[in-house]
Chain A
Amino acid sequence: MGVTRRQFLAGTGTAMGNNFLLSRHAQAAATRHFSGHPGSLGVLHDISRCIGCRKCEAACNQVNELPPPERPFDDLNVLNLERRPDAGVYTVVNRFLPPATALPVFVKKQCNHCLEPACVSACFVKALKKSETGAVVYDPSLCVGCRYCMIACPFNIPAYEYSDPITPKVMKCTLCQPRIQKGLMPKCVEICPKEALAFGTREDLIKIARQRIHDYPGRYVDHIYGEHEMGGCNWLYISNVGFADIGMRQDLGDISAAQRTSGLLASFPIVVVTGFVFLTGIYAISKRKDRIVNEETQAGAKRDKKKAVKDAATPARKSSGAQTSLPRLKNLQSVFSPFNLTAGIIVLVGMILTVLRFTGGLGAVTRLDDNNPWGLWIGFDLLCGVTLAAGGYMTSAACYLFGLKRCHSAVRPAVLTAFLGYALVVLALCYDVGRPWRLPYSIFLSQGTSSLLFMLAVCMFLSVFVLAIKCSPAAFECLGWRKARNAVIELTLALTVLGIILFILHNLTLGGLFLIAPFKLHPLWHSTYLPVSFLISSMFAGMSMVIFESTLAQRFLRPKMDPAHLSAGPHITFGFAKAAAWVMAGYVMIQLIGLAADNDWGELISRWGIWYLLELIGFVALPAFFFAVGERERNIRLIRWAALWTLLGIILNRLNICLIAFNWNLPADQRYFPSWMEVVTSIFIVTIGIIAYRFCVARMPILYEHPDYRYER
């Protein structure tokens, strides 16, 4: 019995729906029985006893051989500032003046050594580990310097050596792990003159804390901070004033970071397998339809081929038509053209900044700090780069899986753009991470499979590889390597299916990266559906990118295009405009459902709400409407403007999630704003991409079909 397209889609749709249900089930099952290492050690900080003498700070500095402080430890005026641990200070004591008491309250701040640490879940090379003693320990020999641990930490504890260009490290309290292993207590506990710190097993400390609260009900708030927060911590606090009044977050909840990401992690393998079955199924159905059409047109094609063999007697370059005639390439080849001069200046400045970056560290060229560890290079270069590279996958899928042969001429330019996009993302990462030469560690040396960043690294590595292979036939045709070219062409289906699966995983992962930090991202952008939102938005971003790219090619690279590519442009533009409008409408609906699912309607009535609505309506709903109008009215100009508008909207969305709405609750003076050097470096990286694209297009059959291969697959 045959299977219709509708039956097939319904079946696989049900299977994919089950995926999510199963992943939720996996999440529930996985969280049932874990309560931390038995007998793990910790510290109880009795805030009511602390006098703010800073002796713990001095002891910590001494035992960890940290650099001398800017102001001596007996200078208590620093307590007037609200400080946080940084690269040279593992612990700080802050003074608060809560309204409930006339006396100041002193609170020691350091790593809380969570039972299920967010930083450990985030680390994709297992540089951070939860030891059985209870300490969260750091191995600098594995650290890549991605700083995702800093993004993930709900307490904003890990710090980074931004000024170290070669061996920057993440710095944080170690719970004096070396001393604990020798049977000693942490130095800060040992030195405390008021016994405000107590050391012991977590179970015992909780008993002591409960006893004190029970014995002195008027003195303590009836809450042990750290007992349940973020799944529990090995560092516990009891206080004589409300924790909200002394800068300790009350909104962290009981769910650990590992729980927040486990559902998405569990769904990845199922997405891979279901995606493979689904995509190959679509291919089989479209191929069946295609075969019937092919048989009908086969006779005509044979006639054309005979004619082509006849034409081959004339020189090949000439036979490809006007697209390769040298005079029309004057603008492309002129050394002192406006483009070349502008690009030359950008590259020159970029090279200078590169030297500064790799000799002075991230601190020399960026405004990144411990509260804002990710900046423009992640928000724009990584997030937008991957999203805009989706065009290659979209076009390949349309052509090879869905059988839309009209898209064929758009495949090579789109795949080339995707490959260059990914290559430039890798380049940008080399600038952004502390030790770029260790990027392969996550795949070949130390796989932190609990981290979403691990999946991101795998997707990145495989995507570059797959796209490079998909681009290679153009180079092989140029070199005349027919066998190699044909061998790669044989792999088209496999590469397309693998590429689409990677595209899905990659975008789910990118969105999922922020699931671990719900307390830092504004609730309007942090949604349960964030991974799905990323995936869907990258689909219409990819289509818009193809339209935009086709527009630019028609305007600036027209001499390199053959009649087939020129005539296919409008078909592709109208087709993708229709598809993009439809997907964008779905995206808007998902955003609304996300608001309802998290009950964030109230957030819309605020400045952030206006900004959110501007993004959603102004940069998604409106361009979707113009795509639809343009398609209905066959107005290609309107569609092209809508594509550009959509691309700007996607960039705005990614910057909102990564930068603008991230750390939204920090004071304005602690917010991130990129330095001009970060902006110029990003422009430099984009310029390299444009130069590389022009280089390839000028030398390879990207915008035209090579005459020797015109009648081959």
Chain B
Amino acid sequence: MESIFYTLQEFITYTQSIVYLLAVGALVALALFWRFLTGRDKKKRTF
């Protein structure tokens, strides 16, 4: 259900709460993807 906002301040409070959480989620996801991306680097060096 879409929320109704009467002031910009209410709108920012609501959207920023979600956006900040998503940013934290994005950081975690990127960190995991980085591990996946570079996971074989050490193995390569053992050859």
A391 CB–B CB distance under 8 Å: no
How distant is the Cα of A265 from the Cα of B17 in the complex, in angstroms?
11
- Which residues of A are found within 8 Å of B34, using beta-carbon distances? 280
Please report which residues of chain A, range 257-274, place their CB below 8 angstroms from some CB of chain B when the two chains form the complex: 258-259, 262, 265-266, 268-269, 272-273
Assembled-state Cα–Cα distance A617/B10 (Å): 43
Verify if A145 is at the interface (C-beta below 8 Å from B): no
- By a CB distance below 8 angstroms, the chain B residues around A132 are 6
Instruction: Report the minimal beta-carbon distance from A674 to chain B, rounded to whole angstroms.
Output: 33
Shortest distance between the CB of B38 and any CB in chain A (Å):
8
Q: Which of A120, A276, A284 contacts B9 (CB 8 A)?
A: A120
**B20 and A449 within 8 A (CB):** yes
| One of B13, B15, B17, B27 near A273 (C-beta < 8 A) | B27
CA distance A121 to B7 in the complex (A): 11
Instruction: Tell me whether B20 and A38 are in contact (CB under 8 A).
Output: no
Q: Give B4-47 as 1s and 0s: 1 = Cβ < 8 Å from A's Cβ atoms.
A: 01111111110111011011001100110010001000000000
Question: Do A273 and B30 form a contact, CB below 8 Å, given A449-B17, A449-B20?
Answer: yes
Asked if residues B12 and A265 are in contact (CB atoms below 8 Å), the reply is: yes
Question: Which one of B11, B23, B27, B30 lies within 8 Å of A268 (CB-CB)?
Answer: B23
Q: Which residues from B are CB-within-8-Å of A494?
A: 31
Check: A31 CB closer than 8 A to any chain B CB.
yes
**Interface check A19, CB cutoff 8 A:** no
Q: How far is the CA of A284 from the CA of B17 in the complex (A)?
A: 32
- CB-based nearest A residue for B5: A34
Known: A265-B16, A273-B23. Contact between A121 and B9, CB under 8 A? yes
Q: Is A30 an interface residue (CB 8 A)?
A: yes
What is the 8 Å Cβ interface bit string for chain A, positions 244-261, against chain B (1 contact, 0 not)?
000000000000101100
Q: How far is the CA of A276 from the CA of B30 in the complex (A)?
A: 8
Which chain A residues border B16 with CB–CB below 8 Å?
Answer: 265, 449-450
Task: A449 to B13: give the CA distance in the assembly, Å.
Answer: 5
Query: How far in angstroms is the closest Cβ of chain B from A608?
Result: 32
Inter-subunit contact A448/B13 (CB<8 Å): yes
- Chain B's interface size range is 20 to 34
Asked if A117 meets B9 with Cβ closer than 8 Å, knowing A265-B16, A280-B34, the reply is yes
The answer to whether B8 touches A259, judged by C-beta atoms less than 8 angstroms apart, is: yes
CA separation between A284 and B34, bound complex, in Å?
10
Interface size on A, residues (CB 8 A): 35
Set of chain B residues within 8 Å of A223, measured between Cβ atoms: none
In the complex, what's the smallest C-beta–C-beta distance from A629 to chain B, in angstroms?
Answer: 42
Q: A269 vs B27: C-alpha distance in the bound complex, in angstroms?
A: 10
Select the residue from B7, B13, B22, B34 with max chain A CB neighbours within 10 A.
B7
Tell me, rounded to whole Å, the shortest Cβ–Cβ distance linking B8 to chain A: 4
B residues less than 8 Å from A121 (CB atoms): 9, 12
Q: Among the listed A116, A130, A269, which residue makes an inter-chain contact with B19, where contact means beta carbons less than 8 Å apart?
A: A269
**Contact between A34 and B23, CB atoms less than 8 A apart:** no
Q: Kindly identify which residue among A34, A266, A284 contacts B7, using a CB–CB cutoff of 8 Å.
A: A34
Please, how many angstroms separate the alpha-carbon atoms of A116 and B16 in the complex?
Answer: 17
Within the complex, what minimum Cβ distance (angstroms) separates B19 from chain A? 5
Q: Is the CB of A34 within 8 A of B26?
A: no
A447 within 8 A of B: yes
User: Is A115 located at the chain interface by the 8 A CB criterion?
Assistant: yes
Residues on B with C-beta less than 8 A from A259 are 8
Q: Complex Cα distance A643/B38, Å?
A: 39
CA distance A515 to B12 in the complex (A): 16
Given A265-B12, A276-B30, A450-B12: A36 touches B6 (CB 8 Å cut-off) = yes
Cβ B23 vs Cβ A262 within 8 A:
no
- Say if the beta carbon of A694 comes within 8 Å of chain B: no
Mark A215-247 against chain B: 1 for CB-CB distance below 8 A, else 0.
000000000000000010000000000000000
Instruction: Give the nearest-CB partner of B18 in chain A.
Output: A449
Q: Measuring CB to CB, which residues of chain B are less than 8 angstroms from any residue of chain A? A: 5-13, 15-17, 19-20, 22-23, 26-27, 30-31, 34, 38
Q: 3 shortest A-B CB distances, which residue pairs?
A: A269-B23, A449-B16, A450-B12
Q: A121-B9, A269-B19 are in contact. List 16 more A-B contacts (CB 8 A).
A: A30-B12, A37-B6, A37-B7, A116-B7, A116-B8, A117-B9, A259-B8, A262-B8, A268-B23, A269-B20, A269-B22, A273-B27, A276-B27, A280-B30, A449-B12, A450-B12
